[in-house]
Structure formats: structure tokens, C-alpha cells
Chains A and B, each alone.
Chain A
């Protein structure tokens, strides 16, 4: 189904992010539809992470707004559920927490509620979905980089998200794990989840995503199908030129 025909699930309207006096993201408009896969590309410091963090509400908008279209939820909810997977390096992998406990942290519940049987089943389902069903009781200190990334994916899956937002999910992964993650994301998109990733791996952006948004100096400089945006000329334009101010 073409993206235009699908219902919008999350939109940015003149979304602006500033850190003190410095603008990280200039007024930006974009719509992401249900079941759309979007790659956000650009050089370091181009505003990719700021855009993603603002979309999930982690970064306050200096101006503009993020609009969630609840009618597009595919899990019969009244709110759009956004799962955010930050860069792997942000978490405390050196602490001996169990994989199951870390995945359960993605499940929304009141702080006083202890994880129950339903929570444990949901953890098992999420771990099975990423191929780590056997590792629920293992300590996260004993995981490889690929397994750690899949644990973060499982933690996102347990939210049953309408939109999955990921910051550099392929960084530091071997080819087999990259393929496994791409396959999992494809299954999610097929089920109606929107996936939005910031990434530097342009060949993955071109082959695994339907749409690409290129940022430079905090501005959107290109937005269209991944194949068209990330052709040879497009890549050169994005990574060598600065945005016109």
C-alpha cells in the first residue's frame, strides 16, 4: 500500500529543538504513516538523534509540536504507543541484571505492581520473537553485542508499539545479527508498526527501508523513497554539502 494511502500515526509540525542558544533541529514538518519504515540519515551532528528524541517526548520542543494520531493505533488503544530504543551504549550492561528483568522493564504498569504471570508470559513471547527465548534468566553482563541489541528489541516489542523509534540500531553488529534485526523489523512493518531509525549504514537504509529522510545541520534536505534519496548523487549531496540556510 502506498504510504500516502495509509493513515498517519505520528506527525511533526514545525518541530524545533534547541540546546541553550544552539539549534539542533530547525522547524521540521513530517508525517509517518502506519506500517511505514523510515530511515533518518545524515552526518554526525545533523540532528538525527534530536529529531528522534523529540518525537518520543524525551526532548522538549522549543517550538512546534508532535501530533499523535490515536485512530491509527493497530493494537486497539486510545493512545499511540511509542517504543524508543536508544543507542546500546547508553545502558548499564556491566550490572548483572537478568535479561528477563530488563525486558520486563518495557512493560507499562503501576510502580507498586509486581510483575505477574501475564508479565512473565509477555517477556517470554518477546524474547522468543527475537530468538533469545532461552536467555531470560541469563545476566546481561554475559551477552554479546548482537544479543544485547536483540534484548533491547525485545524490551521494545513487549510494549506492542505502534511506532518503533531506534537510534543507530545496527552500530557494532555483525552481518548475521544485522540480517536478523532487519528481518524482525520487516515483520513488524508488515504487522502495521511504523519503524523509524537513525542510521549511518546507507546500504541498509537503501535496501531495508521504504523511505529516507536526510538531515543536514538540523534541517531536512531530502525526503522520499529510500532508493531515490540514497542513490550515488544523493549520498554525495547529503554527506558533502551543508544545508542551505
Chain B
């Protein structure tokens, strides 16, 4: 037991590991919370493309000597704006618009990197390295993460309403476009939070993978949020510890721990579902007392293919 405690705690006796832990935890809490909404609103491809597009802003900021974080944020917001313009004004299919704008910005970013005096100088933006963060990096990371978490908590009711039924949300006066834009900016902030710790390419893993784990295991929005954050924290702490003891790079290890959890959740979900169904059966009479109750999950409702004269039977689900 002592061996395990020592294995888990000994690395954090070093100051650089404490800073790495704080910076990584900031991303690992904020990114999964954002990821739940990214996944629920089918924005995963946009999230992935945004992680590539951010490179253009970072490279541009580096050339003009500006803040890399602000440059990355500007690139992400620009990307969201151009995608919206192409979709709304030019009626380009959304995935096509995301692909074009994301790859275009990525190409600009690669060009910008090649113009640096030392092209390798920006590699930490792509791949990150939490072990080299200083106090300022940690402070910025934590501040951005807190901002993301607060926005996600504050917007919960409107995000839920516009995700579940955007058409209805418009009829009760919600500005769906503005809410979408706010979520995209928050996603950009999340990516930027990951710049110096896990890097933008790995940050996208921390947005998506814990959310997928939560979607597999969670049975309500609150439980999904809790599972996603727990999965993110396990990824951050686990990744740091494994990389420290095995002498492997930290950022891919953090991402791999997050991905392994998705695999474990996918393997676990079937026996867990069987146990739950057995428990429901043994409760006895639940179905009989609620005749209009179905325990099988509902797939998106579809209209019956054949309608009997006038009234139709409840569709099979």
C-alpha cells in the first residue's frame, strides 16, 4: 500500500510536477465540460478542425511578437465566423465548410511556422509540454479554465434547451445563433487553455474522449458532467504519473489514458446494461404499474411508415 502511495505522491514533491499538475488539471476539468456540449450538438468535427486552425493564429502572433494565446483565440473565433458565413450565406454543407476553413487555416499556420527563424520553436504549441510550464502559464491556464467552467455552468439551461430542440427554443425567444456562437468561443477558449500544457492537438482529445466515456456511462446530464470531469482528471493525473515513472512524453500519455477509458467504458456498458435490466425485472410489477412506460432507450422518433385509417398505433421503437 505504501508502495502505491509513494508511487502516486512522490513525483509531486517536485515543484515542476506541482505546476504541471495544476496546469493539466485546469485543462482536464474545463475541456470535458465543454466536450459534453460539443458531442451533444454534433460539433466534434468542428472541435477537431479548430485544433488545427489555431496554429495559424499562434504562428501569426509569433511573427508579430504578440501573445500566442490571444493569437490562437483569434484564429479559433475567425474560423467559427467563416464557417458560419459559409453555412448561412453561401449554403455550403456544414462539414464541407468546416473542412475548407479548418484546412485553410492549418495551411496558413504551417506557412507561418516555416517563416519563423526557428521553425521548431512552436512545436510545443502543437504538442505541448506541461513539465516546462512556469507560474505565469499556470495562472493563465487556471484563469481560462475557470472562465470556461463558469460559462458552461451559467449557460446550462439555454444550452440544454437549444440542444434538445432548437426550433422550439427560437419560439420562446432564445437567440439560438448567439448561444451557438458563445459555445464556439468557449470551445476556442478551451483549446487555447490546452496550448501550453497538452498542446492543441491533444487538447481536442481531452474535449472529446471524456465526453464519449460520459455518454456511454451517464444516465443524466448531471451524471454525464460528473463522469466527464472525473475521466478528465484521471487522464491528467494518470498521464502525468505514468509518463514520470516510465520516462515517456506526458501529453500523449494524458491523451492515451483518456482514450483507454473510452474503450473500458464501451466494454463495460453491455454487462452493466444487463445488470440494470435484471434489477428492473426483479423490482417486480414496475411495468404493470406504469403501462405507458418503456425501459428500452428511445431512438429519435420516426413517423410510422404505414398509417392505418386515421389513427395510428404507437410506433415500434
> Which residues of A are interface residues toward B (Cβ below 8 A)?
56-58, 82-98, 101-102, 104-108, 111-112, 114-115, 139-148, 155, 159, 168, 170-178, 200-204
Contacts and interface: CB of A to CB of B under 8 A. Distances in A.
A108 B173 contact: yes
B62 interface: no
Contacts of A93: 298-301
Nearest to A137: B220
B165 A92 contact: yes
Interface string B278-314: 0000000000000011110111111110010111111
Contact of A105 (B168, B299, B302, B313): B168
Contacts of A159: 172
Contacts of A139: 219-220
Contacts of B40: 92, 95
Contacts of A58: 167, 170-171
Given A101-B221, A104-B157, A105-B161, A146 B301 contact: no
B15 to A, nearest CB: 40
Nearest to B298: A93
Contact of A170 (B163, B174, B295, B311): B311
Contacts of B171: 56-58, 82-84
Nearest to B179: A111
Task: List the 5 closest A-B pairs by CB distance, nearest first.
Answer: A105-B161, A174-B314, A203-B310, A172-B315, A144-B294
A96 B220 CA distance: 5
A101 B294 contact: no
A146 B317 CA distance: 12
Interface residues of B, number: 45
Interface string B108-150: 0000000000000000000000000000000000000000000
A171 B172 contact: no
Interface of B: 40, 154-155, 157-158, 160-161, 163-165, 167-174, 179, 218-221, 224, 292-295, 297-304, 307, 309-315, 317
Contact of B219 (A91, A94, A96, A112): A96
Contacts of B311: 170, 173, 175, 178, 201, 203-204
A170 B295 CA distance: 22
B181 to A, nearest CB: 13
Contacts of A84: 167-168, 171
Contacts of A112: 154
Nearest to B39: A95
Nearest to B304: A172
B221 to A, nearest CB: 6
A84 B224 CA distance: 29
Given A174-B313, A202-B310, A96 B160 contact: no
Nearest to B218: A96
Given A142-B295, A142-B298, A201-B311, A172 B303 contact: yes
